[in-house]
Amino acid sequence: MKFKYLLPTTHRERRRSHIAFVEPADIAVMWSPKAACTTVMTWVFLQDGLLAEALAYSNWIHRYRLRRYQKDERYLRRLGNLRRYGRHVIKVVRNPFDRAVSSYFHAYRHGYEDLHLSSALGRPVDPAQRFSFREFVHFLDRVDITRCNLHHRVQATSLERHVLFGVKPHRIIKIEDGLEAALGQVERQYGLPPTDFANPVFRSHHHTSRIAADGLAADRRDWSPRHLPPAAAFYDDDLVARVARLYAEDFRRYGYDPTRPV
């Protein structure tokens, strides 16, 4: 246990812990990239009456979150007074095995780690020469998983690690158990209006169609951006052990089985 986790949380730690506020219910929602974050933020903005403004600002809702919502004085006041929420904090998480594969494809498609991957793998990584999931995990082994790119950083935050002054979610929502149903339960519990999740605003351009796995997918480098095998197809015993070790805190904190890929 680091000594800093016995001290009050800093503004930097709070700001980086991915928190949004559903103001009509006076609850805080914590989320992580690659764990249905766009759906979660769309739901928050809908409940707060901000969705039309957010979509008018940008069809990428996180642009509004970053440039407007998180800079607003009302948001900053709530962020500075997190302890008042007590047992009214929800955390949305994703199975680390599934999330690691999703993070791999995000990096594969967008190329934002190509330079670092090239250095880690000792070979060119560019739009013409991609990388496998096994190579991606090898790269993750070489970075600080608590401070790296948000899309493959651990879901646990420093704010949750604080012993005396942190924020402990009173409810963990696992998206693979049914995010929409869980958010519906939250709405009923706190008297919020029900959400129509069939609304096109909840359709994410990140979604892919799943195809049947043709053997182990861990070493393939050629992928269609929209047709991918299920996450379990990317794991052998070695990769199960490595991902379980990398994301051990998430497995432990959020109650996932580190021996069974999804």
**Residue ranges of domains in the chain:** 3-254
Mean pLDDT in residue range 238-254:
98
pLDDT tens digit sequence for 221-245: 999 867 789 999 999 999 999 999 9
User: Does residue 66 contact residue 15 with C-beta atoms inside 8 Å?
Assistant: no
- Reference 120, options 105, 106, 102, 134; nearest CA is 134
Per the prediction, the chain carries an average pLDDT of: 92
Q: What percent of the chain has pLDDT over 90?
A: 79
Examine the pLDDT at 178 and tell me if it is beyond 70.
yes
pTM, two decimals, is 0.93
List residues bridging with 129 in a β-sheet: 126
How big is the chain, counted in residues? Answer: 262
pLDDT for the residue 207? 59
Cα within 13 Å of Cα(235), Cβ side: 21
Question: Would you place residue 157 in the very low, low, confident or very high pLDDT band (cuts 50, 70, 90)?
Answer: very high
